[in-house]
Amino acid sequence: MVSQKQLRILIGFFLAFSFILSSCGNSADTTSEANLQETLQAIYAMDTLQAIEAQQTGQAVQQPTEEPPTAEPPTEEPIVQEPTQSDFPMPGEPPEELDRTLEDSVAGYTGEDKKATQGDNILNNLYERPFTSREMIYQPDLDITTVDFGPSDDGFYYFTVRLYGMNTEGGGLKGLYGIEFDRTLTGRGDLLVTVLDPQKEWTMDGVTIYLDDNRDVGGLKPIEAEAGFNGSGYDTTLEMDADKNAYARIDPKDGNAVQFAISFPLVGGVDQFLWGAWADNGWMDPTRFDYNDSMGPTEAGSPILGKYYPVKGLYNLDNTCRLPFGLEQTGLVAGMCKIGVQKEECKCLQWYTFNFGSTSMKVCIRKKCS
């Protein structure tokens, strides 16, 4: 192929030659018209070359995008190794030997009759109302029947919250389920671990840890109703880390039960606390705890036949009283279960010391009561 440079020289030479011929004036056989035609063709050829060059120039501008990427290494950014869930200790199976099993009232026995007969006392923040508002349609996946509890030597407290049945529309457990702790033994809840949409395997997905920075859960008188108290309830959520974490799942042996594994360090360096359970598909709003400080019985209604029946403003809700761990069940602390009070003496058979950071804590994981 003729290069651009060679083509340019040829055309230039042709132009010069044409000019000489046309300027001789003695070309008897060559008409000036023919010379003019040749000159025009040469100019046309030059224009075409310029057009090609212009086009190639344009392509040259675009070429960088078609060139292969430079071999320069990408700028190296410092890699921050964030601990991931896979780095955290995972729960195993709940201990075979439980510390306690809490038995809640069961609205399911009279659910079809659109009522509960016991276990609901809004004045004491105790609920047994797994019913829709006003229509009183029973919700089995919100009716807690029992809660198994036991600490394990893998560093987790295990809870199994058993419900009366699955959701009547599509199955599964559709509520917000939670375990609430009172670690100051005052009736004031101070730690709430909830799960929404529990999965088949242990996971932190859907699990939220609530704290109460300004300690106003329960208002001025925890557990006792103070309708109109305008507090912030559980106002903070805690980001989990390798020590302080919680997992949830559906009990692999019972599709009607949700399980929690809550790490010892999350509960904190305490070996005494009260715990209770929640099932909620109504307000689902821990910033309004205690719920009976947000709404009184007239507005909230009641599942028990009487003056306040039926359930109205506070609905689709069940909870339990609280059982003690590491202390005697006197029934004297607000919120502590008054039924099933343990009168026997208990002795710890096996202690477990759990170290995290510079802190260590001792938990009785096996006891014998006489």
β-sheet bridge partners, residue 157: 151, 262
Q: Under the criterion CB under 5 A, does residue 266 sit at the interface with Ca ion?
A: no
Q: Under the criterion CB under 5 A, does residue 216 sit at the interface with Ca ion?
A: no
CA 190 from centre of chain: 20
Q: List the Cα angle 71/72/76 in 5-degree steps.
A: 135
Could you tell me if 164 and 145 are in contact, meaning their C-beta atoms sit under 8 angstroms apart? Answer: yes
Distances (CA, A) of 289 to 143, 176, 189, 219, 330: 20, 14, 9, 9, 24
Residue whose entry in the numeric block shows the structure tokens 């276990």: 119
Could you tell me if 141 and 255 are in contact, meaning their C-beta atoms sit under 8 angstroms apart? Answer: no
Q: Which of 99, 212, 280, 293 binds Ca ion (CB under 5 A)?
A: 293
Give the residue with the Cβ less far from Ca ion, 89 or 313.
313
The CB-of-308 to Ca ion minimum distance in angstroms stands at: 17
Q: How many residues bind Ca ion (CB under 5 A)?
A: 12
Residues from 4 through 63 that contact Ca ion (CB under 5 A)? none
Decide: residue 361, CB within 10 A, 0-12 exposed, 13-18 middle, 19+ buried: middle
CA distance 322 to 304: 22
Task: Choose the binding region for Ca ion from 7-15, 17-25, 239-247, 290-298 (rule: CB under 5 A).
Answer: 290-298
Q: Under the criterion CB under 5 A, does residue 318 sit at the interface with Ca ion?
A: yes
What b/e readout covers 23-34, taking b as 16+ CB neighbours within 10 angstroms? Answer: eeeeeeeeeeee
Q: Which of 141, 143, 182, 190 binds Ca ion (CB under 5 A)?
A: 143
Q: Which of 104, 141, 180, 182 binds Ca ion (CB under 5 A)?
A: 104
- Residue with the shortest CB distance to Ca ion: 219
Give the residue with the Cβ less far from Ca ion, 99 or 104.
104
CA distance 105 to 166: 17
Q: Which of 91, 94, 111, 119 binds Ca ion (CB under 5 A)?
A: 119
CA distance 252 to 282: 26
Q: Under the criterion CB under 5 A, does residue 165 sit at the interface with Ca ion?
A: no
Contacts 24+ apart (CB under 8 A), 193-198: 193/246, 193/260, 193/262, 193/266, 194/278, 194/286, 195/248, 195/258, 195/260, 196/284, 198/173, 198/248, 198/249, 198/250, 198/258, 198/259
Task: Choose the binding region for Ca ion from 95-103, 144-152, 207-215, 338-346 (rule: CB under 5 A).
Answer: 144-152
Residues from 325 through 364 that contact Ca ion (CB under 5 A)? none
Task: Choose the binding region for Ca ion from 14-22, 170-178, 289-297, 328-336 (rule: CB under 5 A).
Answer: 289-297
The CB-of-106 to Ca ion minimum distance in angstroms stands at: 5
Pull the structure tokens for residue 168: 């009547």
Decide: residue 72, CB within 10 A, 0-12 exposed, 13-18 middle, 19+ buried: exposed
Q: Under the criterion CB under 5 A, does residue 148 sit at the interface with Ca ion?
A: no
The CB-of-219 to Ca ion minimum distance in angstroms stands at: 4
CA distance 286 to 217: 9
The CB-of-188 to Ca ion minimum distance in angstroms stands at: 9
Give the residue with the Cβ less far from Ca ion, 104 or 212.
104
Give the residue with the Cβ less far from Ca ion, 141 or 154.
141
The CB-of-272 to Ca ion minimum distance in angstroms stands at: 22
CA distance 328 to 129: 29
The CB-of-205 to Ca ion minimum distance in angstroms stands at: 26
CA distance 286 to 226: 16
Pull the structure tokens for residue 9: 């020289």
Q: Which of 226, 235, 243, 251 binds Ca ion (CB under 5 A)?
A: 226
Q: Under the criterion CB under 5 A, does residue 180 sit at the interface with Ca ion?
A: no
Q: Which of 140, 189, 219, 286 binds Ca ion (CB under 5 A)?
A: 219
Q: Under the criterion CB under 5 A, does residue 321 sit at the interface with Ca ion?
A: no
The CB-of-186 to Ca ion minimum distance in angstroms stands at: 12
The CB-of-89 to Ca ion minimum distance in angstroms stands at: 32
Give the residue with the Cβ less far from Ca ion, 42 or 274.
274
**Which positions touch Ca ion (CB under 5 A)?**
104, 119, 128, 143-144, 218-219, 221, 224, 226, 293, 318
